[in-house]
Amino acid sequence: MPQTKSTLENKSANNLSDRQAGEQPKTNHQQPADTVPEVKLFACSASKDLSKEIALQYDAPLGDTTLARFSDGEMQTIINESVRGSYTFFIQSTCQPHDNFVELLLWIDTARRASAGYITAVVPYFGYARQDRKDKPRVPISAKLMANMFTAAGVDRIMTMDLHADQVQGFFDIPVDHLRSEAIYVPYLEKQDLSKVIFASPDVGGVKRARIYAMHFGRELVICDKYRTKANEVAAMTVIGDVKGADVILVDDLVDTAGTLCKAADALIEKGANSVRAICTHPVLSGKAYENVEASQLSELIVCDTIPLRRESPKIKVLSTANLFARAIRNTVEHKSIAALFH
């Protein structure tokens, strides 16, 4: 039966009296509950210190987890709090990749089975990215296999920094947020005297990376052309370009045994360079890398904290990536642009 004008007036009067009495007016629908998912940050074994810094920058506590091991080394991952429906981030570089990669996969599977709403693997350093193609017969494309394993584990998104080659992003069938270390190094270099600086690539494959810095600062670019006889061993190095009297900055995505950097520094000094520094995002620093750097003609090696250093060195300076990752995580949660972080 239709409501009369008198009935509507009575309802309005009742609602007014309810408001005056401090009560909420009665309606046919309840106010919607807050549906913004909770954000959970979890530190994995290889990136404990960086995870703490990211959590501090994000202004959120790290989640409570337990990593148990059987006597044979087999791992069991346990999340000690609810992640149901939450944005879940696991922070783990896959340096020394075997244990660290498997551990990360186990955390992803744990969260998926615990009904996490959206799972992101924050992988500051992505191991196996160097094996991105078949460069000889009967070898694997390991980077693609690793991407497939991430997807099979149930991750929804990958966040990483400075992949060895940009095309590795195409190996994933899920979104990849590829952060660039220029956001770390450019502000640092802007505070330095660059009047005599020339940027250099330690190999032909890194020319694009070094050119970004040369163009940004309006400086020259030279190339060190290397020849390898086998992995991690440089047989010869040739400098293409004039470096006489210049302060050279070598640019690379990672430093492993430091053989390439040290050979490049020697070649550049031989060609008349005044000094040689290097900026390398990922400090893998395996084997005798520390000894090689300290005995080389490099005056300074500037790296990021994507991989923890095994020990301190007077020639190695570490810059933090925590703020960049924290901002990228926040933009992901708030559905904002990641590219905006680099402009």
Catalytic center residues: 226
How far is the C-alpha of 40 from the C-alpha of 277, rounded, in Å?
Answer: 39
DSSP string across 246-309 = -EEEEEEEEESSSHHHHHHHHHHHHTT-SEEEEEEEEE---TTHHHHHHHSS-SEEEEETTS--
CA proximity to 129, closest of 106, 101, 91, 102: 101
How far is the C-alpha of 330 from the C-alpha of 335, rounded, in Å?
Answer: 8
- SS3 of 226, please? strand
C-alpha angle with apex 48: 45 to 49, nearest 5 degrees? 155
User: How far from 116 is each of 81, 87, 89, 199, 244, CA to CA, in Å?
Assistant: 11, 7, 10, 45, 57
User: How far from 323 is each of 2, 84, 127, 320, 338, CA to CA, in Å?
Assistant: 61, 27, 22, 7, 13
How far is the C-alpha of 3 from the C-alpha of 190, rounded, in Å?
Answer: 73
Handedness of CA 263, 267, 268, 270 (dihedral sign): positive
**205 within 8 A of 227, measured Cβ to Cβ:** no
Q: Which residues are 226's β-sheet partners?
A: 237
How far is the C-alpha of 65 from the C-alpha of 69, rounded, in Å?
Answer: 13
Q: Which residues are 252's β-sheet partners?
A: 280
